[in-house]
Amino acid sequence: MSRRTDRRGALRTLAAGAALGLGACSRTDGSQVRPDASGARALTHAEGLELPWSLAFLPDGGALVTERPGRLRRLEPDGRLRPRPITGVPAVLNEGQGGLLDVALDPAFASNRLVYLSYAEAGSGPEAGRNGTSVARGRLAADHSRLDDLQVIFRQPKVGGSAHFGSRLVFGRDGTLFVTLGERFRYREQAQDLGSLLGKVVRIRPDGSIPADNPYVGRAGMRAEIYSHGHRNVQGAALHPQTGELWTHEHGPQGGDELNIVRPGRNYGWPAITFGQEYGSGLPIGEGSSKPGIEPPLIWWTPSIAPCGMAFGTGTKLPAAWRGSLFIGALAGKALWRVGLKGNEVAGREALFTDLGERIRDVRQGPDGALYLLTDNQKGRVLRVQI
Q: Would you state the torsion angle of the CA atoms of residues 68, 29, 256, 96, taken in this order, to the nearest 10 degrees? A: -20
Give SS3 for 39.
coil
240 catalytic? Reply is no
| DSSP assignments along 79-106, one per residue | SPBPSSPBB-PPP---STT-SEEEEEE-
Q: How far apart are CA 186 and CA 172, in angstroms?
A: 30
Give SS3 for 157.
coil
Please give the backbone phi and psi of residue 247, each rounded to the nearest 5 degrees, phi first: -110, 140
Q: Which residues are CB-contacts of 280 (< 8 A; sequence separation ≥ 6)?
A: none
Dihedral sign for Cα 295, 300, 305, 308, please.
Answer: negative
* The length of the chain, given as a count of residues: 387
| Residue 228 burial (CB count, 10 A) | 25
Out of 164, 229, 249, 251, the active site residue is: 164
Task: Give the 3-state secondary structure of 312-361.
Answer: ECCCCCCCHHHCCCEEEEECCCCEEEEEEEECCEEEEEEEECHHHCCCEE
Cβ(180)–Cβ(231) below 8 Å:
yes
Q: How far apart are CA 344 and CA 85, in angstroms?
A: 40
Q: Is the backbone of residue 268 left (phi > 0), alpha (psi -120 to 50) or beta?
A: alpha
Cβ(31)–Cβ(25) below 8 Å:
yes
Catalytic center residues = 164
